[in-house]
Amino acid sequence: MAEQPPLRRIRSFVRREGRLTTGQERALERLFPVYGLEQTGQPLDFQALFGRDAPVVVEIGFGNGVSLAAMAAAQPERNFLGIEVHRPGVGGLLQLVEQQDLQNVRVICADAVEVLQTMIPDQSLDMVCLYFPDPWPKKRHHKRRILQPGFVQLLRSKLRMAAIFHCATDWQNYAEQMLDVMTDAEGFTNTVTDGEYASRPDWRPLTKFEQRGQRLGHGVWDLLFRKTG
């Protein structure tokens, strides 16, 4: 793999979180020491972390955690690591982990790029999910979108051969950019016809937000690319 230039340190997120609910705050206090990871900058040992050797799925920016919890419940044979910068979302996921007794979930509250760069071993992931990232709709802010060529090559270094990168957005302009970036990306192949979007796979839960958007006629675009080099 050709050496990639360092990622520009432009934040793809703004910490604009609201106040923690009582339940989220309690979950962070009680459950983060059990299921949460500190940003140590040291490579993770997934087998030791989960107590087993199993495929690892990472979701970047899991929001309130509903989709991640649903995927983990539906795929108990896989291990799931969620990365989210907003503490209310982390607290919400931890509540779901406890309610559903999801032993195959771990969570880290940190910048995903920094976690990928310093804590995720190379060629260790079987899937990365990026669902509905901040679209930064104003053209002057497009440089803040997380899905850029440098980020894709960082992901490539962390994915096993034949692993899947799955992203989805409800902003058509961002979907078009995503498709352009992924089509041009070295080492990735579209799992459907070149230049085409994929149908939503069964493993990505349909969110309430997405259901509402569908009723209003809003589109959602999924992209599924496989690491092939």
| Bigger pLDDT: 215 vs 152 | 152
- Quote the pLDDT of residue 145: 95
Tell the burial category of 12 from Cβ atoms under 10 Å away from its Cβ (0-12, 13-18, 19+): buried
Query: Percent of the chain beyond pLDDT 70?
Result: 92
9-60 pLDDT, tens digit per residue, is 555 445 555 689 999 999 999 999 999 999 999 999 999 999 999 999 999 9
40's CB contacts (< 8 A; 6+ apart) are 119
127-186 pLDDT, tens digit per residue, is 999 999 999 888 886 898 999 999 999 999 999 999 999 999 999 999 999 999 999 999
Architecture in CATH for domain 43-227? 3-Layer(aba) Sandwich (3.40)
Q: How far apart are CA 210 and CA 144, in angstroms?
A: 23
Q: What is the mean pLDDT of the chain?
A: 91
Tell the burial category of 125 from Cβ atoms under 10 Å away from its Cβ (0-12, 13-18, 19+): buried
Q: How far apart are CA 33 and CA 174, in angstroms?
A: 36
Q: Which of 134, 170, 184, 202 is catalytic?
A: 134
- Quote the pLDDT of residue 215: 81
- Asked if pLDDT for residue 218 goes beyond 70, the answer is yes
Tell the burial category of 7 from Cβ atoms under 10 Å away from its Cβ (0-12, 13-18, 19+): middle
Q: What is the pTM of this model?
A: 0.90
Whether 134 sits among the annotated catalytic residues: the reply is yes
Closest CA to 144 of 16, 4, 9: 9
- Asked if pLDDT for residue 3 goes beyond 80, the answer is no
- Quote the pLDDT of residue 13: 46
